Chain A
């Protein structure tokens, strides 16, 4: 995470006050908070008062809430915004029920968690985020919405540590998050930490895809041409992964994709075709198709496509698409994997990978390996060749 922190710190330092204000607004929305509350919690110490403030924000507009009794039954009662509970309660997620901490243990346990924030975040941010989320889920300090408060707290802590905030709503709804949270124990929070580490990289990719150059305040006229000039200037100054290093990364990925998909699909893939579209129109077509899969690439920067035809797949092909993320102003490379008929408009979000110049090539390649495992499983499960 050190490298990601360096990347984010470098890009943020180059952004003006107006751009940073837009970033803050976006962070607030992703944390499901209004901008003023987000600013307030960003300025607070990591302590019990912060937790109370987050719970008040999470329960805003709700007078009553649903809580799980220790036998797992749901009951409805007052939401008690910002107040620690005083009655026994359970942590319930789906059909999983665990008795939560006794009310008397809450203050001490939470104080220990919050006291360790600074040191543990500096050492291993995903591990601390996992500890915070796990602790709040098992402690259930409030009547309800504890998992949401936990993710808000993790988001606030990660942002304070120079990492991207988390998309609280999306993660809370993700079945993989629920499974990792249920599987985690006091002694082993590894799967949850790995889930959150992947979520942090995804959040960084989403930020790199979103980032642009905001217009000056109250411009007399801000045209598409002005925007292009500003973006071109930013793109010129962006620090990129050297071409040879990127080629090596793609070759490394290509070596894994063919055999892994063949093994899982039970159908051979044809030989890999490498294509670097030279015309803007071709790159734009790829970028627009990528946007339909939820991934943004810059058509003004080089794009590479690796394609494998699926034997007997009626024109379906596996493709690994790599190019400058978003508008190309961060220098980061975004990759995504698809399995679809050529030129088809996709549906759903393709899993993406963020490659940054700040990360050593070896570490990047290792991360690609673990990303590909998940990405291949994802595209095969949702692609057109699923059983």
Chain B
């Protein structure tokens, strides 16, 4: 099968288009200060600058790519595996289709090249794909032994994994969108808040009724995992699910503080939902699904977090977040939720191991 045929055949996950729409709407609403700040922040990446410069030069053919990979290996003092097939000559064709199908293009490049050097050079190509597609860049290192990225022989499965990574990296990007007014504007805090509020109101997100339906389904799924003894918790979950669609100020502040300690930024003022499920443990414990606007809430959507909450907050090392796109149907969000839960549930449980 030719490269263009492969790109055409493997479907781009729907999350890519939803993410693109969300971010392009957000970028239109940004102030000049926000645009400049996020552009500066975009520059910092866990990647090799000379390699990225080489990949950005046009035309970038097989010979240039081979040279860039060789030089990266020298700088990183690694010895690429020569037994892995050399498909550098076909890379430009994949990059040509990257703008329309970034997750598929990333998956193909990864499946071809990641085994050579633990994914070091392929990660740079994935970053180039993101740039061509106008999506936020990599924020976390791509490594070849990451479970979701080890399905070498299945481009469709890898495409799903890369679509998830695109959304994950976008969440970090959204969290780092700065408030709309610069310090140089000498705006009082009240004006800054007014502008943030206006920006938030213009951002798309699910209504309370829409999110409540999803929250109920998600909670039922988690309870069923427990009933079938497939969860990492092991303590029985109660069947009663409590949804708080507008938490009180103290709770919002507590949630935002917990999120910050767990490596996430959520907006304490914005829309927030907390789903609480009782846990039958020997000490007070409950499972909470929290949906909140990420960062200053300028981009729209809701970030979903999972935590085990006792009578004192216990932070997670880095809480995985699921970006809930506005209007996303359950058949799309459901599978993403399941994949997210397979990371988020063990992470929430791990945080409690030292206190068990």
Contacts and interface: CB of A to CB of B under 8 A. Distances in A.
Given A225-B234, A280-B283, A231 B356 contact: yes
Interface of B: 229, 231-235, 281-284, 310-314, 349, 352-356
B261 to A, nearest CB: 9
A279 interface: yes
A139 B271 CA distance: 68
A285 B282 CA distance: 17
Nearest to A232: B282
Nearest to A291: B354
A300 B283 contact: yes
A372 to B, nearest CB: 27
A66 B313 CA distance: 48
A279 B314 contact: no
Contact of B314 (A227, A231, A288): A288
Interface residue SS majority, chain B = loop
Given A223-B349, A224-B356, A280-B284, A288 B234 contact: no
B355 A287 contact: yes
B356 A296 contact: no
Interface residues of A, number: 23
Interface string A207-238: 00000100000000101111110011000000
User: In this complex, which of A212, A284, A296 has the most chain B Cβ atoms within 10 angstroms of its Cβ?
Assistant: A284
A284 B356 contact: no
Given A223-B233, A225-B233, A327 B354 contact: yes
A281 to B, nearest CB: 2
A6 B249 CA distance: 53
Contacts, number: 62
Contacts of B314: 284, 288
A279 B313 contact: no
Nearest to B313: A288
Interface residue SS majority, chain A = helix
A205 to B, nearest CB: 16
User: In this complex, which of B311, B312, B356 has the most chain A Cβ atoms within 10 angstroms of its Cβ?
Assistant: B356
Contact of A221 (B229, B282, B284, B312): B229
A89 to B, nearest CB: 31
A224 B282 contact: no
Contacts of B229: 221
B282 A228 contact: yes
A299 interface: yes
A224 B356 CA distance: 7
B283 to A, nearest CB: 4
Nearest to A284: B312
B253 to A, nearest CB: 14
Contacts of B349: 223-224
User: In this complex, which of B232, B314, B354 has the most chain A Cβ atoms within 10 angstroms of its Cβ?
Assistant: B354
Interface in A270-313: 279-282, 284-285, 287-288, 291, 296, 299-300
A282 B311 CA distance: 8
Nearest to B257: A345
Contact of B232 (A223, A232, A299, A327): A223
Given A223-B235, A224-B234, A296-B354, 5 more contacts: A224-B235, A284-B310, A287-B355, A288-B313, A299-B283
User: In this complex, which of B229, B281, B283, B355 has the most chain A Cβ atoms within 10 angstroms of its Cβ?
Assistant: B355
B307 to A, nearest CB: 13
Contacts of A299: 283, 355
Contact of B356 (A228, A282, A285, A288): A228
B355 A227 contact: no
Given A284-B355, A285-B312, A287-B355, A223 B282 contact: no
A223 B310 contact: no
Nearest to A299: B355
A221 B352 CA distance: 17
Contact of B312 (A225, A226, A281): A281
Please give me the 3 A-B residue pairs with the lowest Cβ-Cβ distance, nearest first: A281-B311, A223-B234, A225-B234
Contact of B234 (A212, A226, A279, A285): A226
12 contacts: A221-B229, A224-B234, A224-B356, A225-B234, A225-B235, A227-B353, A231-B356, A279-B311, A280-B284, A284-B355, A285-B312, A299-B355
A284 B312 CA distance: 6
User: In this complex, which of B233, B312, B313 has the most chain A Cβ atoms within 10 angstroms of its Cβ?
Assistant: B312
A94 B282 CA distance: 54
User: In this complex, which of A224, A284, A299 has the most chain B Cβ atoms within 10 angstroms of its Cβ?
Assistant: A224
A284 B235 contact: no
Nearest to A287: B355
B312 A288 contact: yes
A230 to B, nearest CB: 9
Contacts of A225: 233-235, 281
A300 B282 CA distance: 10
A224 B353 contact: yes
A77 to B, nearest CB: 23
A299 B227 CA distance: 28
Nearest to A228: B356
A305 to B, nearest CB: 15
Interface in A42-71: none
A227 B355 CA distance: 10
A227 B352 CA distance: 10
A223 B312 CA distance: 21
Contacts of A281: 284, 310-312
Contacts of B284: 280-281
A223 B313 CA distance: 20
Nearest to A226: B234
A280 B312 CA distance: 9
Contacts of A232: 282
Interface string A221-257: 1011111100110000000000000000000000000
Contacts of B282: 228, 232
Nearest to A223: B234
Contacts of A226: 234
